[in-house]
């Protein structure tokens, strides 16, 4: 005796599709059978799309990598919260990222580590450390996740107003790139100042001292 094709739903219970359809037809009549099948299909498709929607995706990482390639020392990167304002200055560019700040921070630092031509100096608003979790639920967890995403990079803290002034001054001469995220916590933004990865400040000071000495010797 040939066995019909079976499919399993939710466990080890085989269901004969053709037999199930015939029984439904007898029970509800052919008039309503098509509607029922359409509803079952809709639920199945809806469930699949919901599961896909909930899967973590970093499709935006290609955008981040592409934008970072164009930046150099003295440029700034801002990982802004969901309410971070869009600046009217021509030097400030805003790109929307459908993810949280820690994920974007992780991606940015990974890319900077990979290329090794730029060195990041990371700033965070001083206000963030003083916000209690009962006033901003989730802020304790956020601070812990950010610390992990930093992977040992030191944090410099400044008041938010001072950081905003630094950005405004820098935007007068150099591009400031803002990745606006979905994080909804106060003072959660992260500010990254880029410096050369192959020429540090100590080397620059030493070079200037040498040039000054040479200039003084030439003037005598």
Which residues on adjacent β-strands are paired with residue 192? 77, 122
For residues 176-190, one letter each, b for 16 or more C-beta atoms within 10 angstroms of the residue's C-beta and e for the rest, the string is bbbbbbebebebbbb
CA 196 to chain centre: 24
Alpha-carbon torsion angle 32, 36, 37, 38, nearest 10: 100
Helix/strand/coil for 55: coil
Report which of residues 4 and 120 the model is more confident about: 120
**Per-residue model confidence as pLDDT tens digits over 12-26:** 434 455 555 565 555
pLDDT of 179 higher than 50: yes
Angle between helices 139-150 and 101-115 (to 10 degrees): 10
Going by C-alpha positions, the residue among 149, 168, 180 that lies closest to residue 60 is 180
Q: What is the DSSP string of 134-194?
A: TTSTTHHHHHHHHHHHHTT--EEEE-HHHHHHHHHHHHTTS-EEEEE-S---TT--EEEEE
Lowest mean pLDDT across 93-102, 163-172, 175-184: 163-172
Q: How many residues are recorded in the chain?
A: 220
User: What pLDDT is recorded for position 27?
Assistant: 54
Q: Enter the pTM of the model.
A: 0.71
User: What pLDDT is recorded for position 4?
Assistant: 44
Q: What average pLDDT does range 51-78 have in this prediction?
A: 82
pLDDT of 104 higher than 90: yes
User: What pLDDT is recorded for position 23?
Assistant: 59
Helix/strand/coil for 83: coil
User: What pLDDT is recorded for position 105?
Assistant: 98
pLDDT of 128 higher than 80: yes
**Per-residue model confidence as pLDDT tens digits over 186-207:** 999 999 999 999 998 889 999 9
Helix/strand/coil for 39: helix
């Amino acid at each position: 005796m040939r066995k019909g094709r079976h499919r399993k739903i939710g466990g080890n219970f085989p269901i004969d599709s053709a037999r199930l359809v015939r029984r439904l037809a007898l029970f509800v009549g052919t008039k309503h059978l098509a509607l029922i099948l359409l509803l079952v299909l809709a639920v199945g498709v809806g469930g699949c799309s919901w599961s896909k929607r909930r899967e973590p995706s970093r499709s935006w990482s290609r955008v981040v990598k592409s934008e970072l390639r164009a930046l150099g020392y003295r440029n700034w990167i801002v990982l802004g919260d969901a309410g971070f304002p869009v600046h009217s200055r021509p030097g400030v560019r805003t790109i929307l990222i459908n993810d949280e700040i820690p994920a974007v921070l992780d991606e940015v630092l990974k890319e900077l580590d990979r290329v090794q031509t730029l060195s990041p100096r990371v700033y965070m608003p001083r206000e963030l450390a003083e916000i209690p979790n009962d006033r901003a639920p989730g802020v304790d967890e956020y601070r812990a996740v950010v610390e992990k995403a930093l992977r040992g990079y030191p944090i410099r803290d400044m008041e938010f107003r001072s950081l905003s002034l630094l950005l405004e001054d820098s935007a007068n001469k150099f591009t400031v790139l803002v990745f606006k995220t979905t994080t909804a916590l106060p003072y959660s933004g992260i500010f990254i100042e880029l410096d050369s990865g192959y020429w540090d400040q100590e080397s620059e000071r030493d070079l200037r001292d040498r040039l000054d000495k040479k200039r003084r010797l030439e003037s005598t």
